[in-house]
Structures are given as C-alpha cells and as structure tokens.
C-alpha cells in the first residue's frame, strides 16, 4: 500500500513537471525578423478599410508578407490580414476552392495542365473568381549559391561550373574548372559536399530552371520542384543553410536571407558578362529584363535566367499574389481592403525595407505596373 | 495512429488472483437501471468508435492510394524510384521500408535493454526517494517535443557521432551494414536510431516499471527464501512475470519509433535520385512518415497525393503486423505462466 501511494505521488509529480515543460516548450518556428509596430508606412489613414483578409501559399515570401502585414495592421487598426505559409500548391488549391481571398505562389498560375492532371490552374482560378485571376509579382527572392570553405571569401561561379558542382561532376574545391575562373583565390583540396532541399520547393524549381536555361549541356535533367542533382537532402531552407554552416566544404542554394543569417559565403555569378555580386540592385536588373507573358494587368513574368545583361544577378524567384480581378459578389466588401493591403505591400518604402530581411525590391518599372494593376482591382 | 492499434499493457497483465468471481456474469449482471444502461452504452460506444476510426483511416488510405497504385509503372514494393510529378508515374517503397525498419530496429535494440534496466532499478534496487525521482525524470522524457529531439540530435549528438562512426567502421567496415555511404555523421540512420531510442525509452520504462512492481510478493519471497540472490530472484520471479508487459511496452515503443516524423525529418539526410542501394546504417534516406510530412505541402495532384498515401498505407499495415505478432507472442507466453 505504501508502495502504491508512493507511485501515485511520483506520477502526480511527473504530470506536474510534464505540464510545466509543455508550457515552456511551445513551438517557435520563426526566422522572421518582423519588427512589430513598424515605422514609416505611407498608408494614409483614409486608405484604411476594416475587415479580415485571408491568404495562403508560398513559404518563400513568408518573411516578406509578415513584415508587410505587421506594418499594414499597425497603420490600420481595424484591418486584419492572415497569411498561412503552407506552400504554393496548397495556396493555389485553397484559392481555387474559394477558401482564401488571395494566394501566394512562387510561380504564376499555369496555362497548361500540370503533368498527371487534366485541369488548368489559370482556367480554374478564373472560373472560381468569375473574372480573370491576376498574378501580381510582389516579392523578389534572390537565390544565393552559399558555400562554406575555409579561407575562401570570394568565389566566382559560371552556370556551367555551378551545374557540374551540383550534379557531382566536380568533386573537389581545387578542381581546375573552379580554379580557372577564380584566379588568385587559394582553393583547398577539399571534397565538395552538396546539400539540396529534400522537400519539394519553389527554390529548387527556380534554381534548376536557371541551371537548365544557362547551362543546358551540363544540366541535362528537366527543372522541377524536386531535386534531380546529387548530394545530401535537408529539410527546408533552414536545414540546408545549417548543414552548410556545420560542414566544411559544403555548398547549397538557398534564399538570400538564410545565406546572410548563417554568415555563409555567397558566390558571385558570371553569366557571360563578368561576375555579378548578389545585391538588391543586381537582382532588380534581372527582374526588369523579364518579359511579361500575361495580358494587360495580369503581370505573369517570364524570367530570362540566361540573361547576359551586365550587372544582372540571374538566379531568383518572383513570388506572386494571386487575386480575383473582380471580387466575387459575396466578397465585395473585401475589395477595398485587398486593394489597400496590396498597395501598401507594393509601396516603394515597403519594398526597400524588404531588402533588410533578404528580399530584393521590385524594380521601379515593374512596381509601377503592379500599382496600376492594383488600382484596377474592383 | 500507431498507438491506436497497439497492444496495451493493462489488458494483457495476467491477473495474479485469477478471474474475478463475477467475471463470467458480466453480460447479464446489469440491473436495468438507467445509470447502468447509460454507462454500459457509453463504454460500448467508445469501443465501437475506436474500431470505426481505425477502419475509416484504413478506408481513407486505401481510397487515396489505389488509383495511384494502379498507375504505378514500377514494382511498388521493390523499386527505389520516386517520380510522382509527371509521366511515367514511378514510385516504390523499398528504400523507405528499409530505412524505417532499420532505424526502428536499432532504436529498439538500444531502448528495450536500457528501459528494462531502468525499470528494474526503479522497482527492485533504488531506495524509495531515488526511485520516485528517477521515475518522474524518465517520464519527463516523454514530454519533450519531437522537434526538440530532432534539433538536439542534429546539433548536439550529431557532432559527436563522427568518432562512433569511425570506430564502428574500423571494426566492422567489411560488413555491408557498417559500410561508408558518404553521408555526414550527424545525419545518418544510426544517429536517428539513437535519438529514437531516447524517445521510446519513457514508454518502455513506464510500462515495464508498472508490470515489475506488480510481481506477487509470494513469488519474490519464495525465490529469496530458497536462497536466491537479488539477481536470481529477478531472473526467476520478476522477469518471467513481467515478460508479456515488457513485450507490449516494446511494441508500443516500436509503434512510436516507426511513426516518428519530425525528429527523423530534421536529422536524416535525404538521398539524391539514383543513389545506389546501400544496406549501411551510415546511409541517409527517408522514413515513410518523414517523407510524407516533408512533402505534404506540395500535394498538388491526386496521383501525387495517392503515391504518398500508398506509402502511408504500408506504414499502417507494418504497424498492424508488428502488433499482431506481439499479440501472438504474448498469448503464448501467458500459457506458460498460468
């Protein structure tokens, strides 16, 4: 009997301790550097409709949209914007199903059916809206080729060499192919450890699109969200960035912010007209060089990954906000809110601010088009 | 999900007093009073609900998986390909199955002896004040979120695995299970197994402890009276009595290990396409659960979702099979004891 009560006491203590731990161990999944109560928004008080706006989709733009939301809500106390970063595919699905007011996606709605499917995203979205769905480029996310090699502060890569590193043809850092384009850099005789995204991601999609476009002969496989090169797979951007940080000789591709936050080396890319460093400006040049494939205010862009324009950093992804050009009748009250939020997101000062958290601002030309499109929403 | 089909310890404990005198009357013993009927109905409802849930999960998995399986162009069980985005649709689970089974098996090899040892210490050796503390501490392990285990495994344990891996390889490197696969030591199946073993330790320990504590004093006293030492008493009285409990505890733990998602996903390095097959425990890979979780955000076509659901179905069946085997083993043990 004594034994019994002892055990009961033990289990009570256990439960109590467990409870405490559960409370203190609540999840934290943020790499966002969102500063609440933001400063310097231009949204005038008169542009402040009230209500709730729900969005879902790309996690690549998570930090950017969280920043935009927190600034917007600080300026407009009656407005609530929710964004659920579940992935582009999920966002588009929810948008078509009418569950959310806008979708975030790291690729525009497709005009052709996806492999293994018969439906066309753009047509489905248009039908769900009852009006054309517009793809508005909003956030530019440069992809850094991030490396960790002791003693190498500056590294220049060409598309061909990058492709051969990432499909395992070049195996050591002092390979003649790397040395030839990096004169004066002392490269160690160390094995190259490639890390890739094990989850399907828009980052992989855009990076392999770049390799395919700029170095087709060295990157034979078709681009896609799933990695087709070599290396070790890690979960999400944080996983690959941490792995490179912990591995001498490691290299990966990741959003700019992850490379910066982990203090990894970022390679300069030479597409044929000299090495280009990754900066907000050099990325902007590449976005300007993109061609618009959507009609009118549908700003679907086609990036030119192989661009030879001087000073343009070619590896990037553009995330879109996908909205109905005419809001559904039941949602007509939300239209002013959508307009106000997107406008504050596209505003020049917000775009500049995004640079501090690892995104590149939209170049002025595109930004003007986006603003025009937002004004045309109804 | 695994635990819903798992064998629970309580219902398998041999009752030391034998069946109660009223047990055979339990169906007819109702008095017909309202409270009695209400309670009986609720209990029955709860039982039916659990069975219905498991059945519905199986139906859901089957309905999602079958269309994709019908279109699969490679052998689902023996292929290592995983191309679910386009045509031709190819997916096979050989690699997932191996990594899942190997990581859980190694985890159980570590956790069961350790857990039984801890339980014996707590019930048979430790002074009261220490056994109380030790029991709570082990229970606490169950409350740590698995993402914390994952990060700890990757960033703390992983940095110490280099030496372990080098030592094992220099001793047993000739054996395929220990061959080098070129994956960083922090991200191998072995590292995952060690972390999994810590995660299942509280399950194995808590249940074993309960069973060992219920060893009839007549058994232990008899052993001691015949001149047995402490260890001989444990071997002849406590362990045989507790064996079914330990087995069902292990099965519960195994269910947890097979289904663990986040920690595996964080630690284990996935393999690139077309990586040649390796039996090694120093290889990377993905388990059923980690692969599904890692890709769940991008299930954009039914065939793709179906392929992953088919993998989930195999995990479901695997857990089911493990539990069925456990039941058979326990039933046979019972025959010896009674």
pLDDT higher than 70, residue A5: no
At A28 the pLDDT is 39
At B45 the pLDDT is 95
Chain B residues contacting A, CB < 8 Å? 84-87, 89, 128, 131-132, 135-136, 139-140, 142-145, 147-148, 154-155, 159, 183-184, 186-187, 213, 265-266, 269-273, 284, 286, 294-295, 297-304
Distance, CA of B258 to CA of A192 (rounded, Å):
33
Picking from A256, A312, A342, the residue whose alpha carbon sits closest to that of residue A81 is A342
CB within 8 Å: A116 and B284: no
pLDDT-derived band at A266 (thresholds 50, 70, 90) equals: very high
* pLDDT tens column, B141-191: 889 999 999 999 998 999 899 899 999 999 998 888 898 888 888 899 999
Which range among A143-147, A336-340, B29-33 has the greatest average pLDDT? A143-147
Spatial neighbors of A232 by CB under 8 A, at least 6 apart, are A193, A194, A195, A196, A243, B183, B184, B187, B269, B270, B271, B272, B284
pLDDT-derived band at B333 (thresholds 50, 70, 90) equals: low
At A269 the pLDDT is 93
What average pLDDT does range B19-27 have in this prediction? 50
pLDDT higher than 60, residue A246: yes
User: What are the residues facing A156 on neighbouring strands?
Assistant: A268
CB within 8 Å: B301 and A117: yes
pLDDT-derived band at A113 (thresholds 50, 70, 90) equals: confident
pLDDT higher than 90, residue A18: no
Hey, CA dihedral for B285, B286, B287, B290, is it positive or negative? Answer: positive
* pLDDT tens column, B242-276: 988 899 899 989 989 999 999 999 999 999 887 88
Distance, CA of A217 to CA of A40 (rounded, Å):
48
Distance, CA of B244 to CA of B232 (rounded, Å):
19
Q: Which of B128, B140, B300 sits opposite A21 (nearest CB)?
A: B140
Picking from A218, A217, A213, A207, the residue whose alpha carbon sits closest to that of residue A169 is A218
pLDDT-derived band at B27 (thresholds 50, 70, 90) equals: low
Exposure class string for A216-232: b at 16+ Cβ within 10 A, else e: eebbeeebbbbbbbbbb
At B302 the pLDDT is 82
Distance, CA of B162 to CA of B165 (rounded, Å):
5
Residue in chain B lying closest to A87 (CA): B297
* pLDDT tens column, A360-374: 899 888 999 999 999
| Domain B90-337 = CATH 1.10.3720.10 | yes
User: What are the residues facing B90 on neighbouring strands?
Assistant: B83
What average pLDDT does range A205-215 have in this prediction? 92
pLDDT higher than 90, residue A86: no
CB within 8 Å: B143 and A243: no
In angstroms, the separation between the Cα of residue A8 and the nearest Cα of chain B is 10
> Mean pLDDT, chain A, as a whole number?
84
Q: Which of B142, B272, B297 sits opposite A230 (nearest CB)?
A: B272
Q: Which of B132, B155, B183 sits opposite A9 (nearest CB)?
A: B132
Contacts of A13 in chain B (CB under 8 A): 132, 136
Contacts of B304 in chain A (CB under 8 A): 116
In angstroms, the separation between the Cα of residue A370 and the nearest Cα of chain B is 27
Domain ranges across chain B: 6-71, 90-337
At B28 the pLDDT is 54
Distance, CA of A50 to CA of A76 (rounded, Å):
8
Residue in chain B lying closest to A234 (CA): B269
Contacts of B67 in chain A (CB under 8 A): none
Residue B222 half-sphere exposure, CB side, CA atoms within 13 Å?
Answer: 8
Distance, CA of B245 to CA of B262 (rounded, Å):
28
Measuring CA to CA, how many Å separate A92 from each of A96, A141, A329, A343? 6, 19, 20, 21
Residue in chain B lying closest to A10 (CA): B132
Cβ B248 vs Cβ B326: under 8 Å: yes
Cβ B104 vs Cβ B256: under 8 Å: no
SS3 letters across A229-251: CCCEEECHHHHHHHHHHHCCCEE
At B130 the pLDDT is 92
Q: Which of B140, B143, B270 sits opposite A233 (nearest CB)?
A: B270
At B49 the pLDDT is 96
| Optimal mutation site among B86, B91, B127, B136, interface A, most CBs of chain A within 10 A | B136
Contacts of B139 in chain A (CB under 8 A): 11, 14, 17-18
* pLDDT tens column, B66-112: 988 988 888 888 888 888 877 788 899 999 999 999 999 999 999 99
At B90 the pLDDT is 87
At B188 the pLDDT is 92
Picking from A163, A197, A183, the residue whose alpha carbon sits closest to that of residue A306 is A163
First to last CA, chain B: 32
What average pLDDT does range A85-101 have in this prediction? 87
Angle at B75 between CA B69 and CA B79, to 5 degrees: 115
Cβ A174 vs Cβ A75: under 8 Å: no
Contacts of A86 in chain B (CB under 8 A): 297
Angle at B262 between CA B259 and CA B267, to 5 degrees: 110
CB within 8 Å: B140 and A59: no
* pLDDT tens column, A43-64: 444 568 888 999 998 888 888 9
Residue B176 half-sphere exposure, CB side, CA atoms within 13 Å?
Answer: 3
Q: Which of A21, A114, A227 sits opposite B272 (nearest CB)?
A: A227
* pLDDT tens column, A292-327: 888 888 999 888 888 888 889 999 989 999 999 888
More confident residue, B22 or B42: B42
Cβ A307 vs Cβ A289: under 8 Å: yes
At B73 the pLDDT is 87
What average pLDDT does range B226-246 have in this prediction? 92
| Radius of gyration from C-alpha coordinates of chain B | 23
At A2 the pLDDT is 46
Tell me, rounded to whole angstroms, the distance of Cα A282 from its chain centroid: 17
Residue in chain B lying closest to A14 (CA): B136
Where is average pLDDT lowest: A70-79, B40-49, B66-75, B322-331? B322-331
Q: What is the DSSP string of A65-118?
A: HHHHHHHHHHH-TTEEEEEE-S-HHHHHHHHHTTSSSEEEESSPPPSSPPTT--
| Optimal mutation site among A232, A250, A262, interface B, most CBs of chain B within 10 A | A232
Work out the percent of chain A whose per-residue pLDDT is above 70: 87
CB within 8 Å: B298 and A116: no
Distance, CA of B215 to CA of B238 (rounded, Å):
6
pLDDT-derived band at A275 (thresholds 50, 70, 90) equals: very high
At A276 the pLDDT is 93
Where is average pLDDT lowest: A36-40, A84-88, A214-218? A36-40
pLDDT-derived band at A34 (thresholds 50, 70, 90) equals: very low
Which range among A57-61, A340-344, B298-302 has the greatest average pLDDT? A340-344
What phi, psi does A71 have (nearest 5°)?
A: -70, -40
| Optimal mutation site among A28, A199, A252, interface B, most CBs of chain B within 10 A | A199
Residue in chain B lying closest to A119 (CA): B301
């Amino acid at each position: 009997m004594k034994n019994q009560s002892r055990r009961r006491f033990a289990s009570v203590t256990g439960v109590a301790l467990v409870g405490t731990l559960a409370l203190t161990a609540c999840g934290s999944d943020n790499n966002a550097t969102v500063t609440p109560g933001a400063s310097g928004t231009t949204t005038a008080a008169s542009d402040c409709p009230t209500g709730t706006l729900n969005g879902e989709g790309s996690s690549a733009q998570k930090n950017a949209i969280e920043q935009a939301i927190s600034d917007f809500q600080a300026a407009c106390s009656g407005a609530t914007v929710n964004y659920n970063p579940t992935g582009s595919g999920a966002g588009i699905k929810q948008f078509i199903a009418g569950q959310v007011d806008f979708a975030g996606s790291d690729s525009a709605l497709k005009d052709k059916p996806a492999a293994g499917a018969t439906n066309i995203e753009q047509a489905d979205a248009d039908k769900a809206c009852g009006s054309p769905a517009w793809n508005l480029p909003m956030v530019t996310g440069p992809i850094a080729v991030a490396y960790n090699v002791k003693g190498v502060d500056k590294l220049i890569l060409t598309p061909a060499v990058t492709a051969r590193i990432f499909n395992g043809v070049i195996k050591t850092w002092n390979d003649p192919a790397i040395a030839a384009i990096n004169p004066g850099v002392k490269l160690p005789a160390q094995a190259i450890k490639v890390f890739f995204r094990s989850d399907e991601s828009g980052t992989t999609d855009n990076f392999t699109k770049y390799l395919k476009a700029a170095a087709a002969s060295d990157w034979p496989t078709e681009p896609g969200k799933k990695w087709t090169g070599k290396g070790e797979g890690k979960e999400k951007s944080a996983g690959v960035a941490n792995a490179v940080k912990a591995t001498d000789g490691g290299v990966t591709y990741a959003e700019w912010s992850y490379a910066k936050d982990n203090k990894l080396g970022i390679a300069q890319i030479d597409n044929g007209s000299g090495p280009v460093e990754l900066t907000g400006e050099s990325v902007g040049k590449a976005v300007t060089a993109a061609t618009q494939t959507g009609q009118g205010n549908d700003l679907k862009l086609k990036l030119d990954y192989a661009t030879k324009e001087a000073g343009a950093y070619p590896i990037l992804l553009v995330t879109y906000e996908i909205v109905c050009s005419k809001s559904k009748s039941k949602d007509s009250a939300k239209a002013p809110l959508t307009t106000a939020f997107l406008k504050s997101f596209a505003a020049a000062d917000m775009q500049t601010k995004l640079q501090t958290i690892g995104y590149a601002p939209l170049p002025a030309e595109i930004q003007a088009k986006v603003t025009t499109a937002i004004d045309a929403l109804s | 999900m695994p635990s819903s089909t798992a064998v629970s310890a309580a219902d398998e404990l041999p009752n030391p007093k034998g069946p109660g005198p009223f047990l055979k009357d339990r169906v007819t013993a109702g008095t017909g009073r309202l409270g009695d009927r209400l309670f009986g109905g609720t209990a029955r409802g709860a039982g039916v609900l659990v069975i219905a849930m498991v059945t519905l999960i199986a139906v859901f998995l089957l309905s999602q998986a079958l269309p994709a399986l019908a279109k699969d162009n490679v052998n689902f069980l023996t292929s290592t390909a995983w191309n679910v985005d386009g045509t031709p649709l190819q997916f096979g689970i050989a690699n997932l199955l191996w990594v899942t089974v190997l990581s859980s098996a190694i985890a159980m090899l570590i956790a069961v002896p350790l857990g039984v040892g801890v339980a014996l210490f707590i019930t048979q050796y430790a002074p009261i004040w220490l056994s109380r503390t030790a029991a709570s501490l082990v229970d606490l392990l169950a409350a740590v979120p698995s993402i914390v285990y994952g990060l700890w495994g990757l960033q703390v344990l992983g940095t110490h695995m280099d030496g372990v891996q080098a030592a094992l390889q220099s001793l047993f490197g000739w054996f395929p299970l220990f061959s080098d696969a070129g994956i960083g030591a922090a991200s191998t199946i072995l590292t995952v197994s060690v972390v999994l073993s810590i995660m299942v330790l509280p399950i194995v320990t808590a249940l074993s402890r309960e069973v060992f504590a219920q060893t009839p004093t007549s058994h232990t006293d008899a052993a001691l009276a015949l001149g047995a030492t402490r260890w001989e008493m444990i071997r002849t009285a406590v362990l045989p009595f507790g064996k079914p409990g330990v087995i069902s505890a292990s099965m519960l733990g195994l269910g947890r290990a097979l289904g663990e998602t986040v920690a595996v996903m964080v630690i284990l390095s996935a393999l690139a396409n077309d990586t040649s097959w390796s039996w090694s425990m120093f290889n990377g890979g993905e388990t059923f659960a980690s692969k599904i979780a890692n890709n769940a955000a991008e299930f954009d076509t039914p065939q793709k979702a179906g392929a992953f659901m088919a993998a989930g179905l195999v995990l479901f069946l695997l857990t089911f099979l493990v539990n069925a085997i456990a039941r058979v083993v326990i039933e046979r043990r019972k025959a010896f004891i009674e």
